Amino acid sequence: MLRVAARLFGPGLPAAGKPASLVVDLGQLQVEDGQALPVRIPAGSAELRRVGFDQRGVELAWRDSEGAWAVHVLDAADARALLAALPQQLAAAVGAFESTLRRQQRWRRLGLAALILVLAVPVLLLALLASRADELAGLVSSKIPVAHERQLGEMAYEQMKPNLKPVNDARRSAVVVLGERLTSGSRYRYEFHVVEDAFVNAFALPGGIVVVHTGLLAATTRTEQLAGVLAHEVEHVEQRHGLEAIIKSLGLRAMWALATGDLGGTLAGEAGQQLLELSFSRDAEMQADQAGFDRLVSRGIDPSGMAEFFDKLAKSGGPTPPQLLSTHPESVERSEAMRARIASLGGRRFEPLAPLP
């Protein structure tokens, strides 16, 4: 015999039901409340349902001439014991009931897994972004088409233009000729601009827009020095340093926009602003130096001008530090590394470049 605590609902009883015991004995089911006569449950026509917290309770429902009755067993252990002890007539109902229950549990587990996934993916991405920002930015930037990169650079240049004073004289022609010699055969389509600005500076935008200040041209004493600066800037483009910096600072939104080519809206403005304030990592600078050096040598241009120019910048103290120095740090260390590379060329001779106008 099994006796478990239950609650009985039915005709003439309070809406919340009343406490009772459910008794299973010799194949008979009945509800006892200790006062009235026991209520017999017709096992052949009773229905089983899951009820209660987390659906772990059981309801037996049936009808008689008085109306609809139900008895709830909410304790999970009692409910399990009850299911095991139910008489033969209810066995088929129990089978169907249990398979429904298993289905429900499966769905609940699936739902939970989906929820965890939905919550965890952004968190994981953020964690990855935080810990692996450099690698991820590199990985993502390598997947971005050159055309999108170019679009980004052009947008940034458009944004800067109102504050730039372009120069279109013989100085620009000389820069273009030198720039083309350095970049022929590249997958990028380069544009070289000269702008009126006394700051000793040059910069490159993603996709191949290179801008040189007149102040930098005035500071060079040999065309090879300008070639060194241009080769360095060209390598920032070739190595996609600007693109990587943008991706790192704008994050997922930039990745999406660049991957889909949808560069409209606020992102464009933000990206432009980022490019204006861009500074590259020390590693990126070293890489641009090294690859720039190799580029000069491969185009038959004396790379010692590159070292000379960084030396010049390192030595020129003044009230206002040259822009190139502040955005291209560790000039002394870099020119030393370059001198070591020059020494490795073993006195190779290069044809001198024509002087700048």
Q: Which residues bind Zn ion (CB under 5 A)?
A: 285, 288, 328
Closer Cβ to Zn ion, 59 or 285, answer by number: 285
With CA atoms as reference, report the closest residue to 190 among 233, 159, 246, 142.
233
Spell out where 230-342 has E strands: none
163 CB neighbour count, 10 Å cutoff: 9
Cβ closest to Zn ion, residue 30 vs residue 249: 249
By three-state DSSP, how is residue 203 classified?
strand
Other Cβ atoms closer than 10 A to 288: 25
Give which of 241, 238, 271, 240 is closest to 257, Cα–Cα: 271
Least separation, in Å, of the C-beta of 309 and Zn ion? Answer: 12
User: Which residues sit opposite 21 in a β-bridge?
Assistant: 5, 32
Task: Give the nearer residue to Zn ion in terms of CB position, either 43 or 275.
Answer: 275
Closest CB 286 distance from Zn ion, rounded Å? 9
Residue in 91, 47, 101, 86 with CA at minimum distance from that of residue 70: 47
Q: Report the interhelical angle of 241-250 vs 266-276 (nearest 10°).
A: 120
Q: What is the 3-state secondary structure (H, E, C) of 7-20?
A: EEECCCCCCCCEEE
CB of 235 to Zn ion, least distance (A): 8
Q: Which is nearer to Zn ion, 21 or 323 (CB)?
A: 323
Q: Which CB, 172 or 328, lies closer to Zn ion?
A: 328
**What tokens does 191 get?**
């544009």
DSSP category for residue 54: G
Residue 139: CB minimum distance to Zn ion, A: 22
Sole residue written with tokens 């020095």: 225
Tokens matching residue 286: 């070293």
CB 280 → Zn ion: shortest distance, Å?
6
Identify which of residues 295 and 328 has a Cβ nearer to Zn ion in the complex. Answer: 328
CA 175 to chain centre: 39
Q: Is 226 exposed, middle or buried (0-12, 13-18, 19+ CB in 10 A)?
A: buried
Q: Is the Cβ of residue 285 or residue 308 nearer to Zn ion in the bound state?
A: 285
**Shortest distance, position 194 Cβ to Zn ion, whole Å:** 18
User: Which CB sits closer to Zn ion, 267 or 288?
Assistant: 288
Q: What is the nearest approach in angstroms of Zn ion to the Cβ of residue 285?
A: 5
- Minimum Å gap between C-beta 152 and Zn ion is 18
